[in-house]
């Protein structure tokens, strides 16, 4: 047989699937893959159910159901004072994952360099490579994960087409600061480059920190596409309703990719998400508060056990330094070990880096009921006392 596409044929299964399977196998509390263990608002689920029964159930418009694109335009205006024309500047996709894929396929051509900020979400690199782009990693360092001028200067060059910016950032839990965004904006202008802004955790920020899209900075509207996900906003990760917002010239190209990837996204779910964006703002603002409490609880308890929690200003995730636990092995070994023996699953950070990666950082998801986090803490405390 002739060689298959090496980007995919040579790839392993994603760490999220690997760790969730291992967690199931061992009856572990799954703090690995990031998904809430309670479903989002009943009002949205009822609206989706009603739409399934009453229709429409045929293809919605390729760009997305009109009411959803209008609700997204209003949402971007309300929170960020961004003005996107729902007719040509917003495209609805099957989750943030497709939004990212369509953005990369639509904007990046073979030979273009694409800057990836590591630790980087795992879907970025393979899609950049699949379209013939050349990933240029920037490596941030714990605990502050600061984006520096030196790192940007080393990665940007005349062939730089785009950067992928994930803020709030998975797995680091970092929200990029205004100064870092300004610095990045200056590089985008200088090198005439674009930003694919993965903002799926836009509403999940803590300690009074507000997410600020890069697109709101002077001159950045024209250079940025913003990726969002109803899965994260409404705790409905299985719905896979996402979107991309940006200037018409960029969204036009992204939509051309989208039309050949999925073409559309289930109509009933789009109708329900439109309803949610218009009427269920309280849900996600309260969710951020709950998550903040969970972060504090988990950080405090893990610290008692010997983990060293890093700061987390957003997302579902808390990264911890495990060196004080004196485990003999890599972060991947550690995560497998605690899944099997403490029966709590987590995610090793090394998988989000290319090349030699730090081996002492482990991510726990805290988008879970408090009783579930308590059970996880109890199991880890028992395990590490015994060892
Ligand atoms: N984004 C989720 C996480 O980081 C997982 C999504 C997936 O499993 N593909 O845990």
* pLDDT digits 0-9 by tens, 261-312: 999 999 999 999 999 999 989 999 999 999 999 999 999 999 999 999 999 9
pLDDT above 90 (res 386): no
Let me know: does 116 contact 133? Beta carbons within 8 Å. Answer: no
Ligand 1 center to 108 CA (angstroms):
24
Which tokens sit at 286? Answer: 């309260």
Above 70 in pLDDT, residue 31? yes
- The per-residue pLDDT for 172 is 98
- The answer, yes or no, to whether residue 368 has pLDDT greater than 70, is yes
Mean pLDDT for the chain overall: 97
CA–centroid distance, residue 157 to ligand 1 (Å): 31
User: What fold does the segment set 6-39+282-386 form as a domain?
Assistant: 3.90.1150
Mean pLDDT of 132-148: 97
Residue of 288, 342, 351 lying closest to 319 (CA atoms): 351
Ligand 1 center–CA 127 separation, angstroms: 16
142 backbone dihedrals φ, ψ, rounded to 5°: -70, 155
Q: Whose CA is nearest to atom 9 of ligand 1?
A: 16
- Taking the centre of ligand 1 as the mean of its atom positions, its distance from the CA of residue 173, in whole angstroms, is 14
**Residues 6+ positions from 377 with CB-CB distance below 8 Å:** 298, 301, 302, 305
How much is the pLDDT for 48?
98
- Cα 139 to averaged position of ligand 1 atoms, centre (Å): 21
Most ligand 1 atoms within 8 A of CB, residue of 33, 233, 316, 348 to mutate: 33
Question: And the tokens for 77?
Answer: 């205006």
Query: Quick check: 261 and 102 in contact, CB under 8 A?
Result: yes
Q: pLDDT at position 78, please? A: 97
Tell me which residue has its CA closest to atom 2 in ligand 1. 34
Contacts of 295 (CB under 8 A, 6+ apart): 206, 312, 318, 366
* 191-196 average pLDDT score: 99
Give me the helices (H) in 168-280, please: 178-190, 230-233, 248-261, 267-279
How remote is the CA of residue 236 from the centroid of ligand 1, in Å? 13
Please list, residue by residue across 109-133, b when 16 or more beta carbons sit within 10 angstroms of its beta carbon and e when fewer do: eeebbbbbbbbbbbbbbbbbbbbeb
Pocket probe mutation, ligand 1, options 21, 170, 230, 365, max atoms within 8 Å of Cβ: 170
> Which residue minimizes the CA distance to atom 4 of ligand 1?
34
Return d(Cα 104, Cα 106) in angstroms, integer: 5
User: Which residues surround ligand 1 with Cβ inside 6 Å?
Assistant: 14, 16, 33-34, 170
The rounded Å distance from CA 344 to ligand 1 centre is: 17
pLDDT (mean) for 109-124:
98
- What pLDDT, on a 0 to 100 scale, did the predictor assign at position 287? 97
Tell how far the Cα of 331 is from the centroid of ligand 1, in angstroms.
Answer: 18
First to last CA, the chain: 50
Q: Fold match between 6-39+282-386 and 42-280?
A: no
Fold for domain 42-280?
3.40.640
Q: Where are the domains of the chain?
A: 6-39+282-386, 42-280
Q: Would you state the pLDDT for residue 387?
A: 66
Report the pLDDT averaged over residues 29-52. 97
Ligand 1 test: best mutation among 35, 96, 198, 362, most atoms within 8 Å of CB? Answer: 35
- Which percentage of the chain shows pLDDT scores above 90? 98
Residue 327: per-residue pLDDT: 97
Q: Do the Cβ atoms of 133 and 108 come closer than 8 Å?
A: yes
């Amino acid at each position: 047989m002739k060689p298959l596409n090496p980007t995919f044929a040579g790839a392993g299964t994603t760490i999220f699937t690997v760790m969730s399977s291992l967690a199931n196998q061992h009856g572990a509390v799954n703090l690995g893959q990031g998904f809430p263990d309670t479903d989002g608002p009943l009002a949205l689920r009822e609206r989706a159910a009603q739409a399934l029964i009453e229709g429409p159930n045929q293809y919605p418009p390729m760009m997305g159901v009109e009411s959803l694109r209008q609700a997204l335009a209003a949402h971007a205006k309300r929170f960020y004072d961004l003005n996107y024309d729902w007719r040509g500047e917003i495209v609805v996709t099957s989750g943030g994952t497709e939004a990212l894929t369509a953005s990369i396929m639509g904007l990046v051509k073979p030979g273009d360099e694409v800057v990836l900020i590591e630790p980087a979400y795992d879907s970025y690199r393979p899609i950049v490579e699949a379209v013939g782009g050349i990933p240029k990693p920037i490596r941030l360092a714990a605990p502050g994960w600061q984006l520096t001028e030196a790192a940007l200067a080393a990665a940007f060059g005349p062939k730089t087409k785009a950067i992928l910016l994930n803020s709030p950032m998975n797995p680091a839990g970092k929200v990029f600061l205004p100064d870092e965004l300004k610095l990045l904006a200056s590089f985008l202008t200088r090198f005439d480059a674009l930003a694919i802004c993965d903002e799926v955790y836009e509403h999940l920020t803590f300690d009074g920190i507000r997410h600020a899209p890069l697109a709101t900075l002077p001159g950045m509207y024209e250079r940025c596409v913003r990726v969002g996900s109803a899965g994260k906003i409404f705790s409905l990760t299985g719905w896979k309703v996402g979107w991309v917002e940006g200037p018409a010239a960029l969204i036009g190209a992204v939509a051309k990719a989208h039309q050949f990837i999925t073409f559309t996204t289930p109509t009933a779910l789009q109708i329900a998400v439109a309803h949610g964006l218009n009427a269920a703002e309280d849900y996600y603002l309260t969710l951020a508060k709950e998550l903040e409490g969970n972060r504090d609880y988990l950080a405090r308890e893990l610290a008692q056990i010997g983990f060293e929690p890093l700061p987390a200003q957003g997302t579902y995730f808390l990264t911890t330094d495990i060196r004080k636990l004196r485990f003999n092995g890599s972060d991947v070994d550690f995560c497998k070990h605690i899944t099997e023996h403490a029966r709590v699953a987590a995610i090793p950070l090394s998988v989000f880096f290319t090349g030699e990666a730090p081996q002492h950082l482990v991510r726990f998801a805290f988008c879970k009921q408090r009783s579930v986090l308590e059970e996880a803490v109890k199991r880890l405390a028992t395990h590490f006392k015994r060892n």
